[in-house]
């Protein structure tokens, strides 16, 4: 029985194309690890933000500034508390004594994780530490912290700034407060 080469060639080509198309699709999402209440959730991420900064010169070498920044925060890691947040921060920086501030991360459900920020160093080499102090909804009893460094890549004369984090990583524990402590909160 003669073999129809054109039909066999077509089948091989179609099968090859199907394999190539299936192999070039997006990667399957990473498996999420669902941590129970009170278990640590580790994460890494990237925070980008823009806003305004007001600067007060304090002599030749020193300056103080107040900044209000809003942007987005994307987290990675199998036990991250959420994929993305709208992030807002207000910070006060003194070039001699360091930086203090507050940040609010709002997830897609409107629940907020609230943290205190403390920083040291200068624009070239800085380290910022965030400590979760609670929040709303599923973050009401959030505990833990994170750290990163910050780099402004746009600083306009009118005070407009844009920047991004580097090396953001941390861990958070949700639902960590015992039931009696939750009941006593306003």
Convert the pLDDT of each residue in 56-106 to its tens digit.
999 988 999 999 999 999 999 898 988 899 999 999 999 999 999 999 999
Say how far apart CA 166 and CA 185 lie, in whole Å: 35
Task: Among 2.30.30, 2.60.60, 3.90.1690, 2.40.350, name the CATH number for the domain at 40-178.
Answer: 2.40.350
Angle at 113 (CA atoms; ends 109, 119), nearest 5 degrees = 145
- 3-state DSSP call for residue 94? strand
Q: Is the distance from CB of 104 to CB of 90 less than 8 angstroms?
A: no
Say how far apart CA 151 and CA 162 lie, in whole Å: 9
In the chain the beta strands, taken as DSSP E runs, fall at 40-57, 63-76, 84-94, 98-106, 112-121, 126-135, 143-155, 160-173
Summarised one tens digit per residue, pLDDT across range 18-27 is 444 444 444 4
pTM for the structure as a whole: 0.74
* Displacement of CA 34 from its chain's centroid (Å): 19
The pLDDT assigned to 176 comes to: 56
Domain map (residue ranges) of the chain: 40-178
The pLDDT assigned to 41 comes to: 93
Confidence of residue 9 (pLDDT cuts 50, 70, 90): very low
The pLDDT assigned to 177 comes to: 53
């Amino acid at each position: 029985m003669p073999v129809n080469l054109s039909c066999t060639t077509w089948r091989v080509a179609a099968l090859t194309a199907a394999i190539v198309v299936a192999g070039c699709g997006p990667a399957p999402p990473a498996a999420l690890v669902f941590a129970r209440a009170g278990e640590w959730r580790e994460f890494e991420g990237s925070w980008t933000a823009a806003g305004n900064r007001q600067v007060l010169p304090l002599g030749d070498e020193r300056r103080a500034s107040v900044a209000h920044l809003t942007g987005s925060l994307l987290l990675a890691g199998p036990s991250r508390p959420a994929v993305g947040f709208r992030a807002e921060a207000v910070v006060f920086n003194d070039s001699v004594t360091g930086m203090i501030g507050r940040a609010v991360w709002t997830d897609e459900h409107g629940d907020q994780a609230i943290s205190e920020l403390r920083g040291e160093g200068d624009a070239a080499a800085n380290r910022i530490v965030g400590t979760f102090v609670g929040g709303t909804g599923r973050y009401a009893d959030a505990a833990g912290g994170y750290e990163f460094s910050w780099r402004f890549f746009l600083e306009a004369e009118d005070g407009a700034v844009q920047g991004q984090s580097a090396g953001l990583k941390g861990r958070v524990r949700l639902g960590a407060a015992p039931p009696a402590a939750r009941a006593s909160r306003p």
